[in-house]
Structure 1
């Protein structure tokens, strides 16, 4: 197949052998009118030796610039409307260029690329080891690949940095070449396409030409801050301040990228010293985080969510960063999770801190830190002092952010963006979390059928087990758990599902035995933390079902002392009451650091139980803003006398707008009598004129038969207001 003339810009890199292999594979794929320039980086004389006698290309000497500057130099030296930007340690297959350029037959296409081993983004292709044993093996594999994927093109949201063809004029409009290439600007002008029939192999070695700029942000560069906290936010005014306060002593700068808040999020971020970038949301977490990353200056970046609070040792983390040679550090993330209305917990270990020059964020949903060139997950070691407390999975928080449906929508989009089992796994998890169980089972089965890696087998079996448990298909859950047992590397991977299965079967004794066999902490095959603490709620419930009430209360008290809230508030009242205790114990037993998680749980409790616990918490932590904020919400649901007490406290501490009497009087779910008396008391006690229209509205709703009784109560609770009403009626 002949193709339109093209300019090829090669960024020389890799070892001499890698570079030689690149040139040897490139030349046969060119047409007569194609032109090639090779940009040679400074300080690589061994690569210049490989260019001797290569009269078919032009050599340009480069300075110490980044890849974007190198591409720009090559563009200035070429002339064809379509330019291929090619890393110098890529091995090309026969005829790879033809399908890539074929895509440009559609004028709407502005950029296209081949499938590529070790490339960031949807171009990425995983090649079997057998295909990489020799040049001949790769050519044979690529020939079969080309036949299998002939005429297969996919629209994508971005391409990678290793090998891409682009329209010169579109690249200029997008702002010119950059280290990562301006794909958002290109996508605004037309289609980005992967030509699946084209296949290239990228070595991706440390000498790769796309890595040259990493030295600017090396460990020894003292001109840049050590550490930046990077956050993307939208309508996070309820949690952001605490998150920013927690990282203040850890980081040198905070960058907050706002995706369109309509509340006080931006103002809170600025008050806490953050540099705020007012951006936009494109249904893509990875893109938003990378846009934030562009404004970070630190040699290291800590990716934090607004509903996460750093609880580790700031000095120890900073000292470790100064000494480490790695590219990333794993954080311990303690997730507070909904447990039938309560807040259980789980732990995961995740690379949240990384060298800015080496990493970027990939994925529309459940994003991860990857090598900015190869797209492979950044490796590193666990930094025990780096601990984040995450409340985003509590049921109340998830409902407030509509996370389940949002994640399902993004997971579906992500599955369309890229092929691969990671996207399929994210889709299955999102279907499970949003209650689309049958869809989840179908997706997980498909993923299991396609899985070749151990982690994917484990992931899909675990999702299947949870899905079957969610709909009570216990026999199938048991079969799946046994299959998982056969491949798991650690018993923790299986035990967490078996505990839930035995509990669902009513075998409470066996569930307790399995919990007892768990360690205090450990990790399963997917690096999720597993231990006794995660099953504290089931432990308490199983003991209760066996009428072992004193043991259940003892287990609950132990969990509370450890900072856990394993069951809902109403259940805690029952468990403690059955053993002669009360909810007041919760306020005394739970350490202060557990207060935040408890308040999320209280918000979902029945009003009477919530009020009882809030009162106990108020006695222990008088003036605590979090308690007042929750009391303002709960207070409109409690008896009138309790609403009066919370109103007085809120006003005394500077929150008159949250007065529970006012909110109660405006709540159509309360009786006209209650609403009338609440407004009258607010007017009588606090002289708040905002209560006046609420009083008139509520009075009008009181039935004639009940008006005399309401007025009698008002004479006692709000005598001056009742006198004024009677005077007006006289």
Structure 2
């Protein structure tokens, strides 16, 4: 195939051997009218030496201090063809790679194309087998087969990586010219961006790569920034910001369109707020937040997460660090009613800002901003984040289930990667589309080549079959998982659930005891006996071992964990001669937040009993009042009166439980009428007047007299006013 003439701009980089291999692989792929400019980085005489005698290209040496953007610009300015190809100088290019990369430019709507690339940020990235990377010759052999398998395959994407791309010169000019990461948003606004899958490039990822010279910190940069993206997080943002105020040097909050008090709360807590936008892409939003961070290191934290570790130890570890990331322990509260279990995952939430960016529409990952390789690092035990976002109440409040399912499907459409497919399957389970999750996981399992991806899909399948009660199929998947897992705990955590669903509670308890006290599974999720505290307690209770069940429940509460729902706690403690009031005494203050998130989902009587106990222990606590305001409309009238008085006394008249009850269609006309009358009688709140009128109108004629009689007792002045008006 004869391709259109192009201008190739090589950013020299890597080791001399890498650079030499790049030039040797590039030259045979050029057409007779192509031009090549090689832009040298400052202070690299070793690379200059590799260019002696290479008369087929021109050499540019920008001024010292020039960054990648300036070197790309110098190359573009020194060339003339309508399409420019930007190439990192430490890649190996396969034979005929330019032909498929340039083919899409026959369509004037295409503004940029890139090849498949080993080690690049973005959707171009592909994984190649180790044997293909042993030598340039091995790579070229693999590339020939790759080209045949992917001939005529093109995919539209919203961006490409920085390693190897072809761009229309005029579109790049309209976009403002080259930048370090290239202006993909501005290019995408002008036309299509595609991947030519048949073209293959291998990035040797040299530490001296020319594209890394811009990844240094500013000399006056602060140590640590916190980065958050938020939308309508007024109910949780304050405690999150309070917890990190003394840990970080600055807090950057990127708001994606809040309609509540989120922005005001962030500013009141000293955050620098960027009022941005939302494009259905978590990775993009986080990167926009990172652009406003100045710290050498960044802590990525969510509004529904609270830092519970040791501030001084974390800062000291960052100041001494030679690496580029630390793993945080993220404690996920799950289930419902503030309980129902928890999970944990170790994840790189603390990382060097200049070297990283976030990738992925959903469940985004921290990647090297050039090579696209995942960030890893040592676990920092003092870096712990308490995450409440996966409690059922938070999912409902934030509509997370539906949103995540939609974003997961979009992510699969963006790029057909195994991680994206896995995220889709998990989102399908959590949204109740379990059969679809099974089909997605089976598809992923058939296509997965890496062991970690096979482990992921088997684990999802096991959970899906257990959710449907399909025990034989779940058991078969668990055996498949046993054959490839390297950590027994990876299998053990599913066996516990299997035995519990089967009703073999004794065996479930035995397997829990066989698990390590703490550790991680094959996917870096936390596993250990504590993770199954709820199942242990539930199993003991179902075996009528009530004293043991209550003992373990009390011990778990003392650790600040809420392992089972509120209603279940009431049953377990009651069977052992206790009561829910114990929970307020046993649970340390650090655990109250997690309990309150789900209390509103408990049966009203149990929720009210526990809130009363919490109020006695923490009188005046605003978070208790906030939850009580939700519960108060559902409790008996006398209790609604008490919570209403407390809310008004502490400055929350707008959350009055009597007013909420009187406007709640689930309550009887009698209850609504009396609630509005009492609010008017006791608090002279005129907001009760229209509610009283509506409720009275709904009272059946045969109940009017008894309701008025009750009103004479509970709200005599209001009753007199009504009788005078009727007279």
Secondary structure of residue in 2 paired with 1:139: helix
The offset of 1:343, in angstroms, is 4.1
Residue 715 of structure 2: aligned partner:
718
Question: Per-residue displacement from partner, 1:639-690 (whole Å, max 9, x unpaired)?
Answer: 1110100000000000000000111111111111111111111111111111
Contact 2:337 2:595 in 1 (8 A): no
Residue 56 of structure 2: aligned partner:
56
Residue 68 of structure 1: aligned partner:
69
Q: Does 1:488 align with 2:489?
A: no
Residue 422 of structure 2: aligned partner:
425
Question: Per-residue displacement from partner, 1:552-589 (whole Å, max 9, x unpaired)?
Answer: 11111111111111111111111111111111011111
Could you tell me how far apart the structure 1 residues matched to 2:511 and 2:337 are? 21
Residue 43 of structure 1: aligned partner:
43
**Two-structure CA RMSD over aligned residues (Å):** 1.3
Aligned residue runs from structure 1 range 324-343, under 5 A:
324-338=321-335, 342-343=339-340
Secondary structure of residue in 2 paired with 1:452: coil
Could you tell me how far apart the structure 1 residues matched to 2:141 and 2:520 are? 42
Question: Per-residue displacement from partner, 1:301-334 (whole Å, max 9, x unpaired)?
Answer: 1111110001111111111111010011100111
Could you tell me how far apart the structure 2 residues matched to 1:333 and 1:65 are? 40
Question: Per-residue displacement from partner, 1:496-545 (whole Å, max 9, x unpaired)?
Answer: 11111111111111111111222321111111111122111111111111
Contact 2:68 2:180 in 1 (8 A): yes
Could you tell me how far apart the structure 2 residues matched to 1:301 and 1:174 are? 29
State the TM-score, normalizing by the size of structure 2.
0.98
Residue 497 of structure 2: aligned partner:
500
Could you tell me how far apart the structure 1 residues matched to 2:637 and 2:216 are? 67
Instruction: Find the partner of 1:543 among 540, 552, 558.
Output: 540
Contact 2:256 2:278 in 1 (8 A): yes
The offset of 1:25, in angstroms, is 1.4
Could you tell me how far apart the structure 2 residues matched to 1:284 and 1:174 are? 21
Could you tell me how far apart the structure 1 residues matched to 2:300 and 2:674 are? 50
Contact 2:338 2:594 in 1 (8 A): no
Residue 573 of structure 1: aligned partner:
570
Aligned residue runs from structure 1 range 635-674, under 5 A:
635-674=632-671
Could you tell me how far apart the structure 1 residues matched to 2:65 and 2:118 are? 27
The offset of 1:119, in angstroms, is 0.8
The offset of 1:454, in angstroms, is 2.2
Contact 1:682 1:688 in 2 (8 A): yes
Contact 2:281 2:360 in 1 (8 A): yes
Secondary structure of residue in 1 paired with 2:354: coil
Residue 211 of structure 1: aligned partner:
212
Contact 2:154 2:194 in 1 (8 A): yes
The offset of 1:339, in angstroms, is 5.3
Could you tell me how far apart the structure 1 residues matched to 2:456 and 2:229 are? 28
Could you tell me how far apart the structure 1 residues matched to 2:11 and 2:153 are? 28
Aligned residue runs from structure 1 range 505-516, under 5 A:
505-516=502-513
How many aligned residue pairs are there?
726
Residue 149 of structure 2: aligned partner:
148
Aligned residue runs from structure 1 range 579-618, under 5 A:
579-618=576-615
Contact 2:356 2:368 in 1 (8 A): yes
Q: Which runs of 5+ in 1 are unaligned?
A: none
Question: Per-residue displacement from partner, 1:78-106 (whole Å, max 9, x unpaired)?
Answer: 22221111100011111111111111111
Could you tell me how far apart the structure 1 residues matched to 2:653 and 2:451 are? 58
State the TM-score, normalizing by the size of structure 1.
0.98
Contact 1:345 1:533 in 2 (8 A): no
Q: Does 1:165 align with 2:162?
A: no
Residue 521 of structure 1: aligned partner:
518
Could you tell me how far apart the structure 2 residues matched to 1:49 and 1:519 are? 57
Secondary structure of residue in 2 paired with 1:392: coil
Q: Which runs of 5+ in 2 are unaligned?
A: none
CA change 1:393–1:13 in 2 (3 A) is: same
Residue 239 of structure 1: aligned partner:
236
CA change 1:658–1:585 in 2 (3 A) is: same
Contact 1:587 1:616 in 2 (8 A): yes
With 513-522 and 156-165 compared, the bigger mean Cα shift is at 513-522
Contact 1:3 1:102 in 2 (8 A): yes
Secondary structure of residue in 2 paired with 1:215: coil
Residue 181 of structure 1: aligned partner:
182
Residue 379 of structure 2: aligned partner:
382
Instruction: Find the partner of 2:466 among 450, 466, 469.
Output: 469
Secondary structure of residue in 1 paired with 2:273: strand
Question: Per-residue displacement from partner, 1:148-203 (whole Å, max 9, x unpaired)?
Answer: 21111001121000000111222222222111111112112111100011111111
With 314-323 and 404-413 compared, the bigger mean Cα shift is at 404-413
Could you tell me how far apart the structure 1 residues matched to 2:552 and 2:136 are? 64
Residue 15 of structure 1: aligned partner:
15
CA change 1:340–1:660 in 2 (3 A) is: closer
Q: Does 1:79 align with 2:76?
A: no
Secondary structure of residue in 2 paired with 1:342: coil
Contact 1:83 1:167 in 2 (8 A): yes
Q: Does 1:708 align with 2:705?
A: yes
Instruction: Give runs of ≥4 in structure 1 deviating > 3 Å.
Output: none
Could you tell me how far apart the structure 2 residues matched to 1:469 and 1:387 are? 30
Question: Per-residue displacement from partner, 1:443-487 (whole Å, max 9, x unpaired)?
Answer: 212222222322112111111111110111111111111221222
Secondary structure of residue in 1 paired with 2:206: coil
Could you tell me how far apart the structure 2 residues matched to 1:459 and 1:673 are? 55
Could you tell me how far apart the structure 1 residues matched to 2:280 and 2:195 are? 21
Instruction: Find the partner of 1:633 among 617, 630, 633.
Output: 630
Contact 2:367 2:374 in 1 (8 A): yes
The offset of 1:215, in angstroms, is 3.0
The offset of 1:66, in angstroms, is 2.3
Q: Does 1:679 align with 2:686?
A: no
Secondary structure of residue in 1 paired with 2:216: helix
Contact 2:520 2:527 in 1 (8 A): yes
The offset of 1:341, in angstroms, is 7.0
Could you tell me how far apart the structure 2 residues matched to 1:481 and 1:94 are? 45
Could you tell me how far apart the structure 1 residues matched to 2:632 and 2:138 are? 73
